[in-house]
Structure 1
């Protein structure tokens, strides 16, 4: 799907792509064509909500430079939209009796960046 959709997502300056098939959590930097790119979307795999098969505990090693945070734990994410240009993403580990914030990132809308305006 990425091969078929990536050009469309990049050309339209999509800010975030959420995926969930892999049962684990991983957040990438802004990416295009497998490389860090300030005008590409942030890819977040948040497929760790629970399932019969259990967590996917094996990651590709070594960790790619575009992978900023990853963890094989059950959890959930929250996306808070603050205004037209800023949002806060947080991922919370749920392995214990309470939620623990384990990862967070401020996101700035690509459309507010003059070098990343859609073509």
Structure 2
């Protein structure tokens, strides 16, 4: 899917791509063709909602420079769109007793606010 869609998403100036299947959590920097690119989308793998097979605990090592955060934990995310250019993403792991713990939090500024990407 990536090879079929990546150029289209890049040209459309998509800000965020959420994907699953890998049963773990990982957030990448803005990326295009496997390299950091300030005009590419942020990819978030959020396939950690649970499954019969368990968590995918083996990551590719060494961790690529484009990977900003990764954790093999069950969890859930919340995207709060604040306005037309800013959003807050929070990922919380679930296994910390009875309270959710915000493990990864980041503010996003839309590519529409970046003149270099228009």
- How many residue pairs match? The answer is 117
CA distance in 1, matches of 2:74, 2:24: 7
CA distance in 1, matches of 2:115, 2:104: 28
For residues 19-39 of structure 1, the C-alpha deviation after alignment (integer angstroms, 9 at most, x for no partner) is 011000000000001100000
Unaligned runs of 5+ in 2: none
| Aligned-pair Cα RMSD in Å | 0.5
Moved over 3 A (4+): none
DSSP 3-state at the match of 1:73: coil
Unaligned runs of 5+ in 1: none
1:44 equivalent in structure 2: 44
DSSP 3-state at the match of 2:10: helix
Matched, 1:85 2:64: no
DSSP 3-state at the match of 1:79: strand
Matched, 1:113 2:114: yes
DSSP 3-state at the match of 1:87: strand
1:24 equivalent in structure 2: 24
